[in-house]
Structure 1
């Protein structure tokens, strides 16, 4: 049984034609026609999540895991606003969410009608396209709606993927059903085109690359891409170029340089100009390291090429000279055969400094008191190889990037907008589709903020949640400015006196805790043992003041 609403029948038909069959539904009445149709037709994989904010982040994680669009369905009013944080995150992470919002007819907007707000253009700044379907069901209106839906679905996955929004005004009755097949609706296909560089462009780029004594390649946040990693490895072997990567780049070749923040701290005590690149090549998403951005803004490359499929002019380092509209892997494949072998002095300079910093970091951690620094080092050693690791924002992502990455692990984080509001929901959505062990590491404030991530029926046995409970927002003790303010304790740190144990019990997760290094070692052993066959939460308690002292101490130590 499906809804009698013809626009909804047509929408469902086009979604299936575009192989979009994962639907996240939040309950409501106004979206009833969509709920009846998607759940009743039998060809959609529908999941119900009450909290719209969490539901949208769940969809984000699911879409990342499946590498295909996921549709969201909600009622009218503030339900639509609750999608906004995840829609913005998906926009900056290039994830194609299909946002379907039910609405009142436009004649009720601003007329004191219940559950009714201005929904047209509500996500305008964070979608590639937004449309509102017509209310009437005449032949011309259905034709017009089908054309617009086709365009939205095509745009969502073309070029750089991103969310699209389809707003759907619906009149009562909302719950009339009919036992029919979906209509045959014309599909407007979109043929893909390959972006290609001319032979002369490749020659010119290769010549410029060969002339640059010091080439620095920045790999931003990426989904795992073995082909790209292989060609970059070959390029480093041939040319001695330096590839800088964070864990979120998902590049693991030991020739590449990591440990960026500590590396930058040590480099500034050396002679920074030695490390200044002649040619900078960037691609992928954002870098976490603020120190790297500051270094490259002060020590600008003569040339900076940014590789993109959508013509973004990202001038993050204030040195942009060329935008190359091509996939990074394709670019390096084209360039590599034309590159000359070079001395590897520049690469060796970076690798020697990295080795020095790693040794100093390990020594400092070994000498440190119980703190977040010890905790993240132990977690990194305990997480099994070939896992998926989700990093919460604020301190977790920064601590994790100080430590070595887990062998053959894939890393994800909501670094599009870098908010603390949805990392656990995103991880839960990803883990629901993943066959691997998924660990989410987040702070106590972020955990409590997003605790509704556990309020659904899709928590898999492969989920491990680690909460670093340092009793507040310890990130503000690590960065300059807030920690010196009289308002620090109440309005920045925001002291937290609560524990996660009750929430773990409420949602059926096995609970572990640790308050010192011995307890942590034992808890992690059980937490990741083969016997642990249920979702679990590990809460680790540390002291914020000691955390701040040891974190700052590490950076002083590596500057030796």
Structure 2
């Protein structure tokens, strides 16, 4: 049974034609015609999550895991506003969400009608395209709607993926059904293109590359791509180029440098001109490291090439000279055969410095007392190979990036906008469709903020949640400034005495607890035991003041 509304039948049929078959629905009446049709036709994998904010983050994680668009469906009014944080995150992470919001007819807008707000272009700053479909069902209106829907679904995945918004005004009756198949529709195809630079352009770039003596490549956040890693390794070996990456770049070649913040601190006592690049090449998402940005802004390269299918003019380091409309793999495929072999002296300089700071780090961790730093080093030793790790924002992602990466793990995190509000929901969505173990590491505030992530029936047995409970937002004790303010404890640290046990029990999760190093080891052993066949939450308690002192002492040790 599907809705009798022809424009809804057409919308759903086009979703099916375009392969958008994974749907996250939040319940409501105004979106009833869409829900009836998606569920009733039997062609879609429909999930239901009540909390729209959590549902949108869930869809983001699901899309990342599936590597394809996922559609969201909600009712009208403030339900639509609750999608906004995740849509912004998806926009900056370049994740293709298809956002379907039900709406009142436009003649009821601003007329004191219930559950009715100004929804047209509501996400205009965070979507590639946004449209309100026509209300009527004349032949011309259906033709126009079909054309626009085709374009929007194509745009979501063409070039740089991004969210698109389709607002759907609906008149009553909303729940009239008929036992009919979906109508046939005409999809408009947009083939994916493999872009190439002209030979003359590649020759010019190769000449500039060959003239540069110090080449630095920044690999930003990206999904795992073994082929790209092999290409980068080949270029680095041939030319002595340095590849800097964080765990979120999902590159594991040991020749690449990953201890970014420690490296930047270690360079304070070096001649920075020895490390300043002549040529900087960047691709992928954002870096977490603030000190890397400061280093490159203070030690600008002569040239900076940024690779972006969407021609984004990201001048993060204030030295941009070229925007190349290619993905990294296509670019390296063209460039590497055309460049000359070079000395690896610049590469060795970076590698030796990293080796030095890593030795200081490892010795410091081995000698330090029980704090967050020690806990994160314990965690990374237990994370299984070929599993997924989801890093919460603020202090968890920073501690994880300081420590050595677990062997052959894949890293994800909401670093598009870097908020603490949806990390758990995103991880739950991702884990719901994978077979491997998924570990999500969160701070206490992030967990409590997003605890509704557990309020659905899609919590998979492969989910391992680790909450670092240091009784507040410990990030504000790590950065300079807030801890000297009289407002620190209440308005920055947000000191509290809450624990996660009751939440775990309410949502049927196994619960583990640890308050010292021995208990952490025991709990991690149980968390990752082969016979652990249920989702588990491990809460680890640490002291925020000791955490801050240890964190600062580590960087002081590296600086000396």
**TM-score, length basis structure 1:** 0.99
1:459 is matched with which residue? 459
1:18 is matched with which residue? 18
2:220 is matched with which residue? 220
In 2: Cα distance, 1:164 partner to 1:310 partner: 15
1:167 is matched with which residue? 167
| 1:410-449 equivalence runs, <5 A | 410-449=410-449
In 1: Cα distance, 2:389 partner to 2:141 partner: 47
2:147 is matched with which residue? 147
What secondary structure sits across from 1:538 in the alignment? Answer: strand
Q: How far 1:342 sits from its partner (Å)?
A: 1.2
Say yes or no: does 1:7 pair with 2:45. Answer: no
1:392 is matched with which residue? 392
1:93 is matched with which residue? 93
1:529 is matched with which residue? 529
1:119 is matched with which residue? 119
**Contact 2:194–2:330 (CA under 8 A) maintained in structure 1:** no
What secondary structure sits across from 1:123 in the alignment? Answer: coil
In 2: Cα distance, 1:492 partner to 1:340 partner: 53
In 1: Cα distance, 2:424 partner to 2:411 partner: 14
1:52 is matched with which residue? 52
In 1: Cα distance, 2:410 partner to 2:193 partner: 29
2:252 is matched with which residue? 252
1:340 is matched with which residue? 340
2:102 is matched with which residue? 102
Q: How far 1:482 sits from its partner (Å)?
A: 1.2
**Contact 1:510–1:536 (CA under 8 A) maintained in structure 2:** yes
Deviations 1:445-475 (A, max 9, x none): 0000000000000001100000000000000
In 2: Cα distance, 1:237 partner to 1:107 partner: 65
What secondary structure sits across from 1:411 in the alignment? Answer: strand
Q: How far 1:485 sits from its partner (Å)?
A: 1.4
Aligned residues: 560
**Contact 1:421–1:449 (CA under 8 A) maintained in structure 2:** yes
CA RMSD of aligned residues (A): 0.7
Of the structure 1 ranges 234-243 and 188-197, higher mean CA displacement relative to structure 2 is found in 188-197
Gaps of 5+ in 2: none
1:313 is matched with which residue? 313
What secondary structure sits across from 1:126 in the alignment? Answer: coil
1:450 is matched with which residue? 450
In 2: Cα distance, 1:225 partner to 1:383 partner: 20
In 1: Cα distance, 2:188 partner to 2:303 partner: 42
In 1: Cα distance, 2:526 partner to 2:194 partner: 50
2:211 is matched with which residue? 211
Deviations 1:33-53 (A, max 9, x none): 111111111111000000000
In 2: Cα distance, 1:133 partner to 1:309 partner: 29
Say yes or no: does 1:273 pair with 2:273. Answer: yes
In 1: Cα distance, 2:226 partner to 2:385 partner: 17
Deviations 1:402-451 (A, max 9, x none): 00111111100000000000000000000011111000000000000000
| Runs of 4+ residues deviating >6 angstroms | none
| 1:458-537 equivalence runs, <5 A | 458-537=458-537
In 2: Cα distance, 1:192 partner to 1:468 partner: 43
Deviations 1:116-150 (A, max 9, x none): 00000100000011010111111111111111111
Deviations 1:133-190 (A, max 9, x none): 1111111111111111111111111110100000011111100000001111121111
1:186 is matched with which residue? 186
What secondary structure sits across from 1:130 in the alignment? Answer: strand
Q: How far 1:191 sits from its partner (Å)?
A: 2.4
Say yes or no: does 1:379 pair with 2:379. Answer: yes
Q: How far 1:194 sits from its partner (Å)?
A: 2.7
What secondary structure sits across from 1:355 in the alignment? Answer: helix
**Contact 1:70–1:97 (CA under 8 A) maintained in structure 2:** yes
Q: How far 1:511 sits from its partner (Å)?
A: 0.4
In 2: Cα distance, 1:356 partner to 1:304 partner: 28
1:297 is matched with which residue? 297
Deviations 1:75-106 (A, max 9, x none): 00000000000000000011110000000111
Gaps of 5+ in 1: none
In 2: Cα distance, 1:410 partner to 1:418 partner: 19
What secondary structure sits across from 1:125 in the alignment? Answer: coil
Q: How far 1:29 sits from its partner (Å)?
A: 0.5
Q: How far 1:192 sits from its partner (Å)?
A: 2.6
What secondary structure sits across from 1:440 in the alignment? Answer: strand
1:282 is matched with which residue? 282
**Contact 2:80–2:101 (CA under 8 A) maintained in structure 1:** yes
**Contact 1:472–1:495 (CA under 8 A) maintained in structure 2:** yes
Of the structure 1 ranges 199-208 and 9-18, higher mean CA displacement relative to structure 2 is found in 199-208
What secondary structure sits across from 1:332 in the alignment? Answer: helix
**Contact 1:445–1:496 (CA under 8 A) maintained in structure 2:** no
**TM-score, length basis structure 2:** 0.99
What secondary structure sits across from 1:167 in the alignment? Answer: strand
What secondary structure sits across from 1:384 in the alignment? Answer: coil
Deviations 1:481-506 (A, max 9, x none): 11111111111111121000000001
Q: How far 1:73 sits from its partner (Å)?
A: 0.3
What secondary structure sits across from 1:540 in the alignment? Answer: strand
Deviations 1:328-369 (A, max 9, x none): 111111111122111111011000000000100011111111
